[in-house]
Amino acid sequence: QIERDELGSMILWGPPGSGKTTLATIVAHRTRSDFVKFSAVLAGIKEIKEVMAAAEKGRRYGRRTVLFIDEIHRFNKAQQDAFLPYVERGDVVLIGATTENPSFEVNSALLSRAKVYMLSPLSTDEVLTLLARALKDEKRGLAAERVEISEELLRQIAVFANGDARAAYNTLETAVAAADRDAGGRATVTEAIIEDAIQRKMLLYDKAGEEHYNLISALHKSVRNSDPDAALYWLGRMLEAGEDPLYVARRLIRMASEDIGLADPAALGVSVAAMQAVHFVGMPEGNLALAQAAVYLALAPKSNALYAGYSDVQTDAQKTVAEPVPLRLRNPVTGLVEHLGYGKGYQYAHDAPGRLTEMQCLPDNLKDRRYYRPTDEGFERKLKEKLQAIEEWRKKYTR
C-alpha cells in the first residue's frame, strides 16, 4: 500500500518504541500525498478545523492529505468526532498512533473506518541489533564517541528497555554521556555507569493507560485463584511503578466482597484496615499493609455468592422499578397513611419465637426469588445451614 500510495485510514497500536512513528515517517517519505503530522497533546479543535479545511481544499484540486496523529488516544470524543466527516468523504487518510487499546480510546465510528495494525514490542535481540547499529552510525548515532562497551552491558540495556527501542537508545546515550574519556577521546562505559543510567530512567507508568488496567486485572485474578505469590508480585509491580496506593487499596476492598464475601467476613475488615494504614503511615511504609491484605485475600476461602446475587438484583431492580413497596413494610408515620393501610400486616420478628415470622418481604411477583445462594466455603457453610433452617421453618409455618 505504501509503495502504491494507496493507503487507507489506519490505527497503529503498539507499546512505546515499537515503530509507530517510524512507520509514519516512511509513509511521509514515500507518499505523493500531502503529509501532515499532528500531535494530540498540542492540538485542539481550532487546529483540527484548520488542517481539515486545508485538506478539503486540497482534495478539490486533486491532492490527497495523509494525516498522522500521534497519541490519538489523548483526543477527547469531541476532538475525534471532528475528523469523522473528513475521513468519510475521503478528504484525509488518517493514521493514528496509540499506545492504548483503540477499542477503549478511539471512537467506534472512527475505528470502524480504519484498519487496526497491532505492533508487537521488539525482542531483546532486535533491540540489541539497533543498539549495535547506533554505535556505528556516524550521522545519527554514537560512532563519533568511539564507545567501548561490552556485549553483556548492551544486552543489559536491551533487556531493561523491554521492547522499547527509544528507551534503549536513550539509556545508551545517557551512559555514553556519563562515561570517562581516555586521552584519545574514547568513551568507556562500565557496569556502574549502566546501572546509574538505568536508575535515572524511572519506569514510566501511565495510570490511565491499558497497562494500569492489565496489572490490576492480574492482581485481581491472582487473588481469585488463591495464588499469594502472584498476588504479591503484581501488587509490587504496581506500587514500584508509582501506582496510587489508595487505588490499590480500593481494589482490594472490592476483591474482598466480590470474591470472598461471607466465606470469610474478616476479609473486608483486613482490606479496609490496609487502606487506613496507608492513610496513617503513608508510603513506602504502607506497602506492607497492602501486601498483608493481598496475601490474606489470596488465601481466604472464596465465594462469589454476594456478587452473583447482587447481579441478579440489578437485573430485577431495573425491570421492576415501578413495583410498589408492600403496605405491610411501609411505616405508618401519620394517621392518614395508617388509615390507607400502611403497616397493616406487619409482624415484629423480635416478638416471635425464634425471631422468625411468616411475613413475606419481597413483592408478590418476586416472592419465590432467591438472590443469595451461600456456598460450602468457609463461614458460608454455617450461613447456608442457617438459611436452610429458616426456609424449612417457613415452608412449615407459612400459610
Whether 67 has a pLDDT exceeding 50, the answer reads: yes
Query: pLDDT tier at 292 (50, 70, 90 boundaries)?
Result: very high
Assess whether 330 and 369 both reside in one domain: yes
Instruction: Output the pLDDT for position 2.
Output: 62
Q: How far apart are CA 188 and CA 145, in angstroms?
A: 10
Residue 184, domain CATH: 1.10.8.60
Cα four-point dihedral sign 124, 130, 135, 140:
negative
* Residue from 147, 297, 154, 139 nearest 226 by CA: 297
Assess whether 16 and 60 both reside in one domain: yes
Total domain count, the chain:
4
Instruction: Output the pLDDT for position 199.
Output: 66
Residue with the larger pLDDT of the pair 207 and 130:
130
- Establish if 276 belongs to a structural domain: yes
Gyration radius of the chain over CA positions: 31
Assess whether 77 and 168 both reside in one domain: no
CB-count exposure of residue 324 (10 Å: 0-12, 13-18, 19+)? exposed
pLDDT > 70 fraction of the chain, expressed in percent and rounded: 94
Query: pLDDT tier at 181 (50, 70, 90 boundaries)?
Result: confident
Distances (CA, A) of 248 to 7, 13, 48, 255, 286: 43, 27, 38, 11, 11
- Establish if 109 belongs to a structural domain: yes
- Establish if 227 belongs to a structural domain: yes
pLDDT digits (tens, 9 = 90+) for 212-231: 788 999 999 999 999 999 99
pLDDT digits (tens, 9 = 90+) for 13-50: 988 888 888 888 887 777 777 888 877 766 677 788 88
Instruction: Among 118, 146, 175, identify where a domain stops.
Output: 118
Whether 202 has a pLDDT exceeding 50, the answer reads: no
Yes or no: say if 64 and 4 are a contact pair by the CB < 8 Å rule: no
Q: What does the pLDDT average to over 311-335?
A: 87
Whether 293 has a pLDDT exceeding 90, the answer reads: yes
What is the overall mean pLDDT for the chain?
86
Residue 114, domain CATH: 3.40.50.300
Assess whether 153 and 233 both reside in one domain: no
* Residue from 86, 17, 23 nearest 52 by CA: 86
Instruction: Output the pLDDT for position 129.
Output: 92
- Establish if 187 belongs to a structural domain: yes
Residue 215, domain CATH: 1.20.272.10
Assess whether 128 and 114 both reside in one domain: no
pTM of the model: 0.55
Assess whether 82 and 161 both reside in one domain: no
Instruction: Among 168, 200, 232, identify where a domain stops.
Output: 200
Q: What does the pLDDT average to over 386-395?
A: 88
- Establish if 331 belongs to a structural domain: yes
Assess whether 90 and 62 both reside in one domain: yes
- Establish if 307 belongs to a structural domain: no
Instruction: Output the pLDDT for position 1.
Output: 63
Instruction: Output the pLDDT for position 370.
Output: 92
Query: pLDDT tier at 5 (50, 70, 90 boundaries)?
Result: low
Assess whether 75 and 104 both reside in one domain: yes
Residue 355, domain CATH: 1.10.3710.10
Most confident of 7-11, 129-133, 223-227, 366-370: 223-227
Instruction: Among 100, 118, 136, identify where a domain stops.
Output: 118
Whether 148 has a pLDDT exceeding 80, the answer reads: yes
Assess whether 109 and 32 both reside in one domain: yes
- Establish if 256 belongs to a structural domain: yes
Q: What does the pLDDT average to over 199-223?
A: 73
Assess whether 98 and 138 both reside in one domain: no
Domain of 270 in residue numbering reads as 210-299
pLDDT digits (tens, 9 = 90+) for 347-373: 899 988 888 888 888 998 898 899 999
Assess whether 184 and 215 both reside in one domain: no
Whether 140 has a pLDDT exceeding 90, the answer reads: no
- Establish if 308 belongs to a structural domain: no
The span from the first CA to the last CA of the chain, in angstroms, equals 77
Query: pLDDT tier at 204 (50, 70, 90 boundaries)?
Result: very low
Assess whether 234 and 191 both reside in one domain: no
pLDDT digits (tens, 9 = 90+) for 236-285: 998 887 788 888 999 999 999 999 999 999 999 999 999 999 888 887 88
Cα four-point dihedral sign 47, 49, 53, 56:
positive
Phi, psi of 158, rounded to the nearest 5 degrees: -65, -40
Whether 308 has a pLDDT exceeding 90, the answer reads: yes
Distances (CA, A) of 280 to 232, 275, 276: 22, 9, 6
Q: What is the widest separation between alpha-carbon atoms in the chain?
A: 104
Whether 206 has a pLDDT exceeding 80, the answer reads: no
